[in-house]
Amino acid sequence: MTEYTAPTDDIKFLIDDVLDYYGHYQKYPSYEEATPDMVEMIITECAKFCETELAPLNQSGDKEGCHLKDGKVTTPAGFKEAYQNFVDGGWQGLSHPVEYGGQGLPPSIGLIRTEMLGTANWSWSMYPGLSLGAMDTLIRHGSDSQKNTYLPKLTEGVWSGTMCLTEAQCGSDLGRIRCKAEPQEDGSYSITGSKIFISAGDHDLTENIIHIVLARLPGAPKGTRGISLFMVPKILVNEDSSLGEPNSVSCGALEEKMGIKASSTVLLNFDGARGYLIGEENNGLEYMFTYMNNARLGTAMQGVCSAELAYQISLPYVKERLSMRSLSGKKFPDMDADPIIVHPDVRKMLLTQKAISEGGRAMIYYAGKIVDDMEQCGDEQEREALNDKLGFLTPILKGFLTEVGFESANLGIQVLGGHGYTKEWGLEQIVRDTRVATLYEGTTGIQGLDLLGRKMLMERGKTLKSFANEIMGFCKDHSLISSDPHKLRMHKFIWPLSKAVFNWQRYSLQIASRARKDRDLIGSASVEYLMYSGYITMAYLWAMMAQKANEEIAKKPDNIDFYRAKVRTAEFYFERIFPRIKTLSKTMMAKPRSLMRITSEQF
């Protein structure tokens, strides 16, 4: 059985020292209850729940999977009991409004909860995770009546939510959806069509499931401009929020997947199901992006979760597994062989996992502060700037972190060798579970096109310039301008980071200029550009962590080795991982000629 230990020291280092969550919370009266004692209690209790209740169900849930019988899905043994304990603990409404039964804490605290749930048991975590996006969509775009009727139950967790976008003939190209919505005399709509790949689309954990569905009204414009958003409950809801008759929504199939087998992914049929319009007609895609961006941050977290769990499995193994002797001489002469942690190649793989999990966590927690600011911001212009920044970072987080998280999971198998390939240790499950993270909520290619095509070129690099200025400001503040020993220690991070940020802007301008003559350049460069951007963003956060760790080391605390490990991991990242941007810069700046000259028949 795989075990999970919540990385509470790493989490506290980020929120206490690096990102100053508590100073951030003090800016907003609404967050006054997010005190250090309160957050400490939340982290401790959530860690206990994840370690003792969710982690033990991870492998058993994968082995059993979900079951479909008579159109109803049941989850693996233990899932329902764990979910009820989750509801009883009030975990679902942690960061949602008090007026609907939530605790009103900052969204950034919700991200901490999401990380621990996801690392302990990603399949289980998808059930409450899908509900979060449904709740946010209703909060931002639903009517007062819809909010008052549905949000209290969703916030409590006794109802859950889904996102119904994909159809058999279209994935990310949502302009091609065919699901129809016919207006009814009572103000509702009759929804007809099928949706595929619906995560948590049917299960036995909650008494009702609220589907958020994209569909077309009669006479709607073609393409994405003619899509509306509807709320379709599995069981109809009375005016007093009590449950009525079953709606005409049925589960047609349960997908047999490569991974996340304990998470139900289903085909849903809407056969004249009663639905309710959310917001205005034909604005559905705009509203759905509330859900999609929430889901993309959650999916980005899966990359961090897979890297963290793979590292936690790899670390004790390399300290116990004996094989050969160190090339520089025996390290454990009393043993038959040295533990494999003495071998440089094993250390390289282990440090890669560590650098990615800790660096990725920092990236998402950094984004969490932006989400907080957006929620509390009263100035429309400032809110728009925050939204642009989060929109710029979202494809980087989703695309980059899922790719490197998958790399980390594969490295775990390599570290364990033959043991990693067997089911016993759980690493092959992590690889299977996290493979889908690079696909759903938009593939890495889609994220790259979003970043380069929309967020950079269409916006003329405005947000990139702002973010680059922020990083360069950090570099300036910690550059070597005196004999200050602290700044001397930071020079190894500041110089390569500032150089990379300068080139990031230069390459972006060059791509924009060349793309005017050759539009295929955008598609050929987009994934490399995304990964290039991801490595720079992670370097920024590792530089921030190194800077804070050096400050703590100067104080000579009792846990000084914890901070030294941070600095040494940062050194590894800058020396062994960050140089990948050199190759990426070559490939993303290459002309697309070699891609496009070969004809379809020549493949």
Which residues are known catalytic residues? Answer: 441
| Helix/strand/coil for 232 | strand
β-strands 208-215, 228-233 pairing:
antiparallel
List, in order, residues 6 or more apart from 184 with CB less than 8 Å away.
190, 274
Distance CA 504, CA 461 (A): 11
Tokens 């970043």 found at: 451
Residues 476 and 502: beta-carbon distance below 8 Å:
no
Distance CA 568, CA 376 (A): 37
Distance CA 375, CA 236 (A): 31
Tokens 């969509």 found at: 137
Q: List the structure tokens of 342.
A: 């003495």
Q: How many helices (H) and strands (E) does the chain have?
A: 20, 11
Distance CA 110, CA 42 (A): 10
Burial class of residue 9 (count of CB atoms within 10 Å of its CB; 0-12, 13-18, 19+): exposed
Q: List the structure tokens of 229.
A: 């958003």
Q: Which CA distances in Å does 177 have to 240, 430, 585?
A: 34, 33, 37
| Helix/strand/coil for 579 | coil
Residues 214 and 229: beta-carbon distance below 8 Å:
yes
Residues 330 and 342: beta-carbon distance below 8 Å:
no
Q: How many residues does the chain have?
A: 603
Distance CA 151, CA 169 (A): 32
Distance CA 481, CA 491 (A): 10
Burial class of residue 375 (count of CB atoms within 10 Å of its CB; 0-12, 13-18, 19+): middle
Tokens 């364990």 found at: 416
Distance CA 400, CA 303 (A): 9
Q: List the structure tokens of 357.
A: 């999990």
Tokens 């992670």 found at: 538
